[in-house]
Amino acid sequence: MEDKACPFKIISGSSSMARRKMLAEMGYEFTIMSADIDEKGIRKEKPEELVIALAEAKADSIVSKLQTINNQEKDEIPTILIAADTVVVYEGAVREKPANEKEAREFIKGYSGGHAATVGSVLVTNLKTGFRKGEWDMVEVYFHEIPDVVIEKLIEDGTVLHVAGGLIIEHPLIKPYVKQVVGTTDSVMGLPKALTEKLIKEAL
């Protein structure tokens, strides 16, 4: 595990707690830089195209910030920038973070006894060589009926307001109502680990 930290540096282009946790679980040390982008200003027809475009915009924003701070060429070891984005697809419509509690409530009520999919991207940029590659991953999540009282507690807790589609599966309140996850839970949480590992290897 320890050797992962040595040959290269990692910058995570996301301040999301879940993504930070997953990168740490993968054994990486990293610094965090968040991107200043207008996510709503980026629109694409397909969710797969949207999450890649959003990750690219995040990476571009961070690269331009870094260029004003320092010149990468001076660095002996490569720096890998990881940008990611996730959206939820429900009945063909793309859902991003809920605008408010009312929308979050509507979202979760829709998942009750039904299902949704998450589409997540990972984009890796080697800041030393300029290599960049992004891929996406899709996961289907099926739910049992979610009681209204549980939905209200989730809204009160507030976590659902900060995630795509108000969709969480790891929270103790919602876990008993998750019927099946077709794909990996880490992808639903915002960072598919296997895909991230693969892209880091390719970038080096």
Instruction: Quote the CA–CA distance of 82 and 58 in Å, as a whole number.
Output: 9
125 forms beta bridges with 81, 132
Question: Which residue in 85, 137, 148, 186 is the catalytic one?
Answer: 85
Instruction: Quote the CA–CA distance of 59 and 88 in Å, as a whole number.
Output: 21
Are 35 and 13 a contacting pair, CB within 8 Å?
yes
Are 123 and 61 a contacting pair, CB within 8 Å?
no
Give the closest residue to 140 by CA, choosing from 119, 166, 121, 116. 116
Q: Is the dihedral of CA 60, 62, 68, 72 positive or negative?
A: negative
Active site residue 3: no
- The Cα angle at residue 29 between residues 24 and 80, in degrees rounded to 5: 110
Give the residue numbers annotated as catalytic, written as ranges.
Answer: 85
